[in-house]
Amino acid sequence: MLNKQVHITDNILESTLLSSAILEVFGTDKIQSINYYSWSTYNTPEIIQPILDIFNAHYTCQYVYCEHTYGRHEYIYKSTYSYLPVVGYLHIDGDSVRFTVYSMSIIDGEVAYSSLFNKLSEIINQHNETFNTADVVKVHFCYQGLNGNSIQYERFIECCSWEDIQNNYIYNKPELEQLFSNTSPDYKGKFIFWYGDVGTGKSYLIRSLIKKWKNISKITYIIDPENFFQNAHYMYNIILDDEEDGSFNVDAPLSPSFGHRKNHSGANDKFHVFIIEDGLDLLLSSSRQSRNPEISRFLNLIDGILGQGLRILFLVTTNEKLDVIDPAFLRPGRCLQEVEFKRLRFSDAQEWVRSQIKDSDLLDIKLPQLKNKEYSLAELYAFINDNNMFDKRSKIVGFNT
């Protein structure tokens, strides 16, 4: 659960309807005193109604707004009690549900607020435990808002297991297995670099890796890496967020200081993985002069004073060759892993296709000859999809899922 101070400009970016409701319930003169408390979970029919029932049991709530746009659904509720001003915001986006309570930290309402938060936390945590071993992972997506502030939202995405896809990476299997078995990778380096042609399975493998690490790490996907490293305020807010407010340790109990979580162990037991896809501009040797501040901040995070004591790990991918990458990033001790994802040679590609097909009559089917006689995983998946050749017993899924 996240506890933050509300800035009304942030909410305008997320929902104009929500901003209107907040202003209506609290008034413009009290905006600076509002806090919000947010929970997220996997979207199932069993979780929506219990959330609303608990919320309504504490406050006789009035249904205010509902908006449906581009597959996203917003529901806004407000308390009918004038002495306990509360706004509830239910946001459904695909597989993810986020419920946020906006409230005033006033003494008279503190007991009621605490009771609500504890019950909501209990039911959502129980729901999350149901999916603890399922093929879903909570990923935080962050980007810079129009007014320069950092914005984060969470989504649950389906991921496959390493055991199901390991034969996709026959040229890198030993080193990847070593990475997947590492439960504290950030102590050996803070930078993982994957490179190779388009369609060779880098993004697909990321999903498998974060599934393996989902119980020992927090996963954040940086949508706009150019802004992330250019704007120090935006970067520090995301990097240091968990260190400052203790929200990273989701199992830590609520402290007597209302609404805040504390890590009683004295240190976070999880590391924070930041994912940057197609991050070529940050890594180019030719960018050193034009983008020196951004590159310097990045290097400081992975091997400098700024990164000391922070359990962080950056996973960066690019489709370019290694020879254009600034060697400063690949220095031993700084780079935990550097892996090239290669296209499969014809004989290996043919064997891979045979391992996927369901009909024994198709075992002798031949791949179409390509000019370079090498195949990307995307091309192979497309080939067997087009020919309906998947083994139905296999858990392996294609790049389009």
CATH number attached to the domain at 136-341: 3.40.50.300
pLDDT tens-place string over residues 120-152:
888 888 887 776 656 888 899 999 887 777 888
Of 195 and 145, more confident: 195
Spatial distance between the Cα atoms of 348 and 350, rounded to a whole number of angstroms: 5
Per-residue confidence (pLDDT) for residue 378, from 0 to 100: 92
Greater pLDDT, 390 or 124: 124
Q: Do strands 2-5 and 34-42 pair parallel, antiparallel, or not at all (unpaired)?
A: antiparallel
Kindly report the average pLDDT of the chain as a whole number.
76
pLDDT at site 41: 84
In terms of residues, how long is the chain?
A: 401
Q: What's the pLDDT at 173?
A: 94
CA atoms 104, 108, 113, 118: torsion sign: positive
Mean pLDDT of 190-212: 93
Q: What is the pLDDT of residues 255-268, one digit of tens each?
A: 232 233 333 333 45
> Is there a contact between 47 and 124 (Cβ–Cβ < 8 Å)?
yes
Which residues neighbour 60 within 8 Å (Cβ) at sequence distance 6 or greater? 79, 80, 81
Closest CA to 319 of 335, 340, 334, 299: 340
Sheet containing strand 2-5, edge to edge, reads 2-5, 34-42, 96-104, 86-93, 72-79, 61-69
Mean pLDDT, rounded, for 390-395: 41
Parse the chain into domains and list their residue ranges: 2-130, 136-341, 344-386
CATH of domain 2-130: 3.30.160.110
